[in-house]
Structure 1
Amino acid sequence: FGITPAKMGEKRKRVGGGEKRKRRMGGGKKKVNVPDRAEEVRGGEEGEMEGVQSTSEGGEKVVKFGGDEAEHTDIVGKDGEFNLGDVCRADPEFKEIRKMDQKDRKEARKLLQRAENVKEIKFYNRLINDLGNKKQLGYSLQAYADAVKIVPDKVNAYTYTNAINACVRCGEMKRAEEIFTEMEKAGVKPNEVTFTVLLKGYANGGNLRHCIELLDKMKDAGVQGNTRTLNTLLRGCVKSCAVEEAKAITAKMKENGVEEDLYTWEYFVKLHC
């Protein structure tokens, strides 16, 4: 075909030495500068790596490089910004994930409509919990808000606790605190599960001072914690390497009659390792 090995070598020239290459994007996309390396790198197929790089216009692109040809693939929107739609069209796996998300959203909306028709607090409680476990926080809190609005006289400790747990699982501690306050204003008494869920959120975030304050509040409310409550707090102490706080928390819990178990001692061993 008239193509010599020398010419093929020229076509396969690597990008190096800080050199930048401009490529014309398909589908009416604009030209962007493509650096020779990515700031954030993750593993790809064998012999390849993949990363995300900021563009000079402030957007982002996915860069694949490695293998024999050191090729790269850019996915940039019309205004130079990262575009999820382009990723979905380029990668079948992303497309499948997006389809799953759309299916989950559709199912959540159907369940919310069904709950509105059924008007039973048990259905709302289960829905709040299930959506929270899937980390669909928006729909979970929508179910909580609907329950408070549609069946306000039947909302109970499980309703509030499930909503608080959904927030904790998604790292939204401020919203969890707000729901806890709403629970108190509504005259619904928090139980040991409610307090344990809140304590877990504070402990996982390393906010052990709030944990100790909440333990005092728990005692004032006449709520008896259990071994699971203690171990939840100690797990947070292990993450923060907080030995003294762990001792103080354990002492407070023992004052309330809570006993240690095998996991309690396991956490203390980890703290001292």
Structure 2
Amino acid sequence: MTQPQRRVGLVLARASRVLGEEPYYHEFLEGLERVLTPAGVSVLVKVVTDRPAEHETYERWAAEQRVDGVVLVDLAPDDDRVALVNRLELPAVVLGAPSTASGLPTVWTDDAGFAREAIRFLAGRGHDVIGHISGPPAFAHTQLRRAGAVAEAGERGVRLVHAEGDYSYESGHAATAELLPAGPTAIVCDNDLMALAALDALREQGRAVPADISVVAWDDSALCQLAVPALSAMSHDVGRIGELAAGALLDAMAGAAPAVYEAPAAHLVARDSTR
């Protein structure tokens, strides 16, 4: 008799338009499936509008036994989803800082350290006013990146100016316009899509990249290489992060003790958008 198909769930509380444009989760899912599919596990993805809808999804999945485990993303400090999946007895893996996981297995990237590297790279090239376009401030990884950028800027005597986005093209465009009066000679963006928007916003303002302003992206999808000029980026192996999350989830579903799985270190790839 064949065994029933096992499933794991991923709930994304993001605008569907942003997810359709943003390469990160496409690459992450590819990595997940490379490990889960051979193990006979499928991935169920649901896009919701807000956190209450995400909570309701976990409650329903657990009640209906729809999934055998879940991946939690975009956690905040003291995130109540950790307690929820524990109460529901859903095996879970956190994609984010171990400080947010409260005993759950974690796939971790050093967001603060990589943000410091981006600022260090630009400061080393003579930039003394640097703009940072972050993601939503409630996310722990946003807070870590901002803290790392602030710390490195302080050590190097660089003035850091900040604007918030939501990872969409539109928010990156608006945030770039918000930063320009502060006179940055470089801008770091927390994802590729906002960096592409920064290029367009600067072009519309008559600012040459990189002659007037340098731009650095985060993640380094194919979009960075296809951009004009090609975008320098903090390059992450997002597919490998997905593979690690899949392995961690299989371990959790098998009852293994929680562990921290560190993703491969990111590195800055310099292209034509920085001088």
- Which one has the bigger helix percentage? 1
TM-score, reference length from structure 2: 0.30
Higher Cα Rg: structure 1 or 2? 1
TM-score, reference length from structure 1: 0.30
